[in-house]
């Protein structure tokens, strides 16, 4: 059975993330210990809330460098919502430096007439890396669920795996580069499309385990 470590840093609904991964066929282990992350086949970093407290909670658990090491090791890594944003260098929401795994800044939506902030509810993805394993067996423009007031702005636009339009603003909805993947939306709240994305992540991890065992 595929073992996926879900990082516990008091910044998210871990139950929902675990339930979605388990429905997709994985065994989950909620943890804030680096050794557990090392033993797992993959790691998920969920998150709901503000940027600075998230970084502070990770620092208090001595997890900042271990997370960087896990990503550098090539192990599949999936960030969700705030777990995407803290991968970046910093955020207009706060003052703490981010993990710095993705060059770029997290920015607040620009106010414009009729624009609701936070961006909350269902929106359609425009897949900019359609060949990505996470997107397999999805519709061309799947509907997924968002709750956020800030969006990630990578320096290298090729890291965008999907974008969405909110008002007149087109912004990052997901990023991917090698083993590092992250979604601004909540796959665990995104009905059948979200479950397919989590299933695709689990399948990717299973394939990696099989190859490593050969």
Question: Pick the catalytic residue: 119, 148, 166, 186?
Answer: 186
Helices (H) then strands (E): counts for the chain: 6, 13
Tokens of 94: 């706060």
How far is it, in rounded angstroms, from Cα 77 to Cα 9? Answer: 16
Question: Pick the catalytic residue: 18, 119, 166, 188?
Answer: 188
Q: Are strands 3-7 and 27-31 parallel, antiparallel or unpaired?
A: parallel
How far is it, in rounded angstroms, from Cα 213 to Cα 79? Answer: 26
* DSSP label at residue 149: S
| Residue 7 host element (H or E) | strand 3-7
Place of tokens 């990717």: 204
> Residue 91 in contact with residue 98, Cβ under 8 Å?
yes
Question: Pick the catalytic residue: 18, 81, 148, 166?
Answer: 81
Catalytic annotation on 18? no
User: What residues are labeled active site?
Assistant: 81, 186, 188
């Amino acid at each position: 059975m595929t073992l996926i470590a879900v990082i516990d840093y008091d910044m998210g609904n871990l139950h929902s993330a675990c339930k979605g991964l388990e429905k997709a066929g994985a065994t989950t282990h909620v943890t804030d210990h680096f050794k557990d992350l090392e033993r797992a086949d993959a790691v998920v970093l969920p998150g709901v809330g503000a940027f600075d407290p998230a970084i502070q909670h990770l620092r208090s658990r001595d997890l900042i460098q271990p997370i960087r090491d896990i990503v550098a090791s090539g192990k599949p890594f999936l960030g969700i919502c705030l777990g995407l944003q803290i991968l970046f260098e910093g955020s207009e929401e706060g003052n703490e430096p981010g993990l710095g795994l993705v060059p770029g800044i997290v920015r607040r939506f620009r106010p414009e007439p009729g624009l609701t902030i936070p961006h909350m509810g269902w929106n359609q993805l425009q897949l900019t890396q359609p060949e990505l394993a996470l997107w397999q067996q999805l519709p061309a423009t799947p509907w997924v669920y968002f709750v956020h007031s800030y969006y990630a702005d990578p320096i290298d636009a090729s890291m965008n795996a999907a974008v969405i339009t909110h008002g007149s603003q087109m912004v990052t909805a997901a990023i991917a580069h090698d083993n590092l993947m992250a979604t601004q939306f909540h796959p665990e709240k995104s009905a059948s499309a979200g479950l397919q994305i989590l299933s695709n992540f689990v399948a990717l991890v299973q394939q990696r385990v099989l190859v490593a065992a050969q």
